[in-house]
Amino acid sequence: MKLTINKIALALSAFAVLASTSVFGVSYAAGAKSEYKMEHVHWHFNGPRGSYDRAAVQRGYQVYREICSACHALDYLSFRHLGDKGGPYYDKAYKNPNDNPYVKAFAADWTIKDIDSETGDVIERPGTPADKFPSIFDNDAAARASNGGALPPDLSVIVAARGGGADYVYNLLTAYGLDAPKDLKLTGGLYYNPVMEGGAIAMAPPLADELIEYAPIEVNDHGTIKTIPAPVATVEQMAKDVTEFLAWSADPKMEQRKSLGFATMIYLLILSVLLYFSYKAVWRDVEH
């Protein structure tokens, strides 16, 4: 009798552990009450050995530059990050990303506000790799004023800042155009998007098929130059690419972290085994 009580109690505890751990997984899925089912994308960076798909991140940068950057900033990113180790345009030949020709060209493509050191006037000049990505609006109030009162969030950490991560961003970009539930009031300038908390979003559908044109991409794969043909710029393709770019932007050191992690886990495993046998050796003659 007593034994069964113990067993029941243990089983209950085990159940509680499971329940309380699973809550972290499910609590974020709530929000939109509609029937929309989040699509789980098989990301290249998923899993313990996953890495960023260079070509996708590069295309994603193009999507950001040509579409998103009209409203959204990348507050915590500088141009030089594009050429950092783990970044989309990293090249072994340019240890210092400031020298990387791709990075230089991308930076020069942007205008940066600066102060003329001679006259003190506000001037505009082309960007350099050391510059941060410029803010599109001078301040939040200006951003709201240009966007019907809504503030376009910074995108540099957006994948980390949303519960569903990369899947959330991908689904948000592709879930436009569905019929809104009848009880949802969509007042001026709002669009229905079941992924958005509450279902109403101020961002107009940003993507449309073949809104931009992709070019083939040359990737340096362990010394050999591989050419990756340009995919058709469908909404899904662009959403995937820009999400891959934003995932990199939120966690640019992921590849470094995972590779050191692999070495660390192996090391700790070996040390554990050795310590276990040391423990056995020390305690050999001691009953306990």
Residues at the interface with another protein (CB under 8 A): 2, 5-6, 8-10, 12-13, 15-17, 19-20, 23-24, 27-28, 48, 75-76, 81, 153, 156-157, 160-163, 165, 197, 250, 252-253, 256-258, 260-262, 264-265, 268-269, 271-272, 275-276, 278-279, 282-283, 286-288
Exposure on the CB side of residue 13, measured as CA atoms within 13 A: 6
Residue 25 or 120: the one with the smaller Cβ distance to another protein is: 25
Residue 222 or 288: the one with the smaller Cβ distance to another protein is: 288
CB of 54 to another protein, least distance (A): 19
CB of 194 to another protein, least distance (A): 16
CB of 286 to another protein, least distance (A): 7
CB of 169 to another protein, least distance (A): 12
Residue 48 or 229: the one with the smaller Cβ distance to another protein is: 48
Residue 151 or 204: the one with the smaller Cβ distance to another protein is: 151
In the block, tokens 């003659």 appear at 285
Q: How far apart are CA 140 and CA 151, in angstroms?
A: 7
Residue 274, classed as helix, strand or coil, is helix
Give the residue from 68, 88, 92 showing the smallest Cα distance to 80: 88
CB of 35 to another protein, least distance (A): 19
Exposure on the CB side of residue 137, measured as CA atoms within 13 A: 17
The C-alpha R_g of the chain, in whole angstroms, comes to: 25
Q: How far apart are CA 267 and CA 277, in angstroms?
A: 16
Burial readout 30-63 (b: 16 or more C-beta within 10 A, e: otherwise): ebbebeeebeebebbbeeeeeebbbbbbbbbbbb
Residue 109 or 267: the one with the smaller Cβ distance to another protein is: 267
Residue 94 or 234: the one with the smaller Cβ distance to another protein is: 94
Q: Quick one: DSSP state of residue 152?
A: P
CB of 149 to another protein, least distance (A): 10
